Structure 1
Amino acid sequence: MILQKNWNLFSVNVAMAGTGLYQLSRKIRQDYFSDEKETAPSLEG
């Protein structure tokens, strides 16, 4: 039985999961817990 351990790939996956969860928490806080009304920027010149 061959067991391969790629700790560099594992650490990158853990970092990506942490970053993704952080970004998801930021989006949820902005969408559901923000009381401020945001104004869309005007694209007309």
Structure 2
Amino acid sequence: MVSMNKYLQKFKKNLLKSWFESRLKTRRFKKTVGNKFQKLKYK
């Protein structure tokens, strides 16, 4: 029971971490795409 609890906590932590990382990646991706788009617009 205790090991199961530890496993669940670890799983939640990993899930949160991966979600956070994907959020950061998408934000960075949007930023770069937005910058490229603006540069194209102002040419």
TM-score, reference length from structure 1: 0.62
- Unmatched segments (≥5 aa) in structure 1: 38-45
- Larger of the two Rg values belongs to structure: 1
RMSD: 1.7
Q: Which has the higher helix share?
A: 2
Q: Percent identity?
A: 9
Gaps of at least 5 residues in structure 2 are: 37-43
Output the TM-score relative to the length of structure 2: 0.65
Where has structure 1 moved over 6 Å in runs of 4 or more? none
The alignment covers a number of residue pairs equal to 33
